[in-house]
Structure 1
């Protein structure tokens, strides 16, 4: 159902279940967590993402490929709906779902996943990859005689060819999809197929068919589809019918339809920024009526909505920039008109370059065919003159044909090589993330073994040593977790890491009500070789503060600070307002933690100072490890 989510992804609703519920879910069977994730994907409560990632980790431990694919699909849908990050996050989880399903025997599920990933590629203008996956899915559906799946695949082809302005192909596959979905009484697929046919018929100038398709789509939506789950279909249907009316010159009917589409959007999402995208249709009608002053605010609001909702892949935004320029020009604001005219040209040039890149091989074939036809015409003319010129022309045509065939061969070979290199690079990135994931799991297993062993140990000092070792292993495990979850495989964001680390340590000592940990720092990204020693230093000092600084339930605060003081120098401060320590008194415990802190400081070519007035404060000046 990703197509439905992408149609109305900007409909942000609020929901805030308690974090106690999130903790409870993480202890429930994984099937219960999946049900909760499916039920709450639109409401998006605060802990949704963390619960989903935790469920993904649990799924990988089962080695159940179908289960892992389910969680990746949910995460992809969540990213597509709410867009907390770039669209690459959607692609990442969709690709992972396909990789998992390719290791199963569920071919229909695999074909469905191909369709989903193809849609994601089309949303990023990667039409070659999207088309390839759609035809893969068609082969599976045909082999399994799955008409419902074929209808969805043909509908996706219609959408692809509409975007490429290949209207005849869009109509061909759209009509096939409509026939199959009507036969199987698949009303949602019928609805979205009629949307594509409305657009295709309009582009082909078949306005009566376009009106009929839009009317049927609206009738199905309002009478047979549950709302608000499918609210995106009637919204688009009214908007598409408005475009047909605009092309037919029926401005009043078109304006009413666009206003209806905008009203449905506001009913579904409230006064959300995304609803303003439907104001573009209103502006188009007003522009056609030469009501430039009325059209301009609708254009500006609609374009701003597209820009703020990461719709850089939206192919028609260059036309809206152009129309804004026309409005400004007619209103006498030539400076603003020039600004938007330049924007329109820049976006249009980019789209044309992308389209040429996607269709380059097709263009070569057409170019070569044209040359051959020209050669044949020249040959016929030469025959009327003399034999000698005829053979000369044939020779030239043959040489040109060889040249073009050679160029075409090397072009295809180079394209395949580049595609293979890109695929290998993506594969290596996925493998590296998988390695970090497995290292984190192994460290987590070591930590669990230490915890189990410490439970059975009766000697207090031995138990404390094992608990300290467990904490150190966890600190390194969190680093590898951040690596495979982050955007950059080579760096760690330390503020987020410190928050996770301190939460684990405070939770281990049950000190949430007693001790508050503050972070007096901005986000800092460090390489792994620097982050690991610093993480271990902070782990030791936090542990010592919790063990010795606040005896007998005393309340207190711990402050962490990390910042760059020079180009390659770092300052780390760990301070508490506990009981401190008298000058000359011996440190508590075995002393191994203090020795480890000094060794790690030396490893980073650093220095350490301690201040025991008003608690305990440690100052470190450290050098980034990648310089050594």
Structure 2
């Protein structure tokens, strides 16, 4: 009897269970269709979030893995567009792990490209490139031409941020050739947009760049696309029009995007157009009009966490304040620009060192060359903004020039009055010594002024910069002291000069008891035009050694040696037995000292080599004219 009852209940419940399962499957299918159609609509963002989570719960209940993964994908897109990037990473990584375990390589490749987009938003271009190449390997293995082309498009995009515009255009052209053949219009529009963006800075004809961006816009118009992709293309057309100096047309495009972004509630898409309107006014020298736009862009970037172009907006605001005469604000924003630009630059250099990059591109050396001009320009601007300090130095220089002119007039008068050659030579020698004496005194005054200025500063980095300036002024002052104290007014005895320079630096760092400096060289005389830059080079190397080579009061030795061969080859060695440099260690300090050494080495037609096996050993060879 019980057995019969069980059979009857089972026969009754199974259809109910199957019916329930069908209802759940239909509900999941309905939710996913709705998400597919509404994921890009900001007005539905709250409902998108709720629907995706409902679908996840239903998918888990019915053990529907495919529906679960699609729901995760939609949530990743939701967080990328409307919420937090960290949440987007969480859900897309769930998707990635599923496709890895289930060996769904094509879907995995698509997910890698989505990870590339997320890392781009966080300015992590090295990680972006890793995922693009992972996707490319999958597509190449299966000969998926559509996938290969879109990977080329993404590489084109990444090369833009490395300023390798011509190579980037070449990748876009490779993608376009495949996409036109396959007639994949949405991918094709993206490739045309990236190509036009790179042409803007590659030296290509801007009219050709405008033609290509219009091709992208026309594709979007024909397909009915009016959202984010279309807005990005409009923004880039504005950029091209801006550099064609068609400013009014550019502002129309930027304003169009602002209006659409506000209408859709897409706050982060306001950033490029707001910043670009500010840049247009900056280019037109309408500084008061430009300022509120760039300040608004900075606030939006901070609020949304999309910091990719933060450094550029800091730079524009600094330029605007400088043009308006507000140098204090200009310096404040220039410092912010320097910090964020250095972080951006290090990201690019790190990207070039990645293993995957070695397969497709060159190396760190290229990136360093790319950024040299920007770094020099940055330091030039810093010098301009420190105009108050420069003014003090200028006063000392004017006084020195005035003294030199006065003495020259006296020399000319003495040449007319004195007929005896011996008497004239003695008088000239006396006057030249007086010049060097006064120059030395003036340099001492400049050193004192810097010390007084340094005493007013609280910032440790500024104090260190001031101390470094004092050392440089001191190194030049010692040369002029040697000139007026010595018998030969045309040259400097370098061993004695190095000993005096070493004593002064050891005294400044209070390091006489822990560090010994040895001058292992014969007496050697150099003309003043050669001695000054070499003195500055040795000053920088000794300062760096005392600051970094012997931490925690370690004792050590520094050795200086110099020799000259054939009267035109000068060799300089500075070595220490300190801790040396750690491989790939981030440079300490501002880097100005290293740049100064490089510039002075170039000035003397020299080459520099550095060895860090045991301590630090730096060698120079200079090609000199006869003293």
TM, length-normalised to structure 1: 0.49
The structure whose Rg is larger is 2
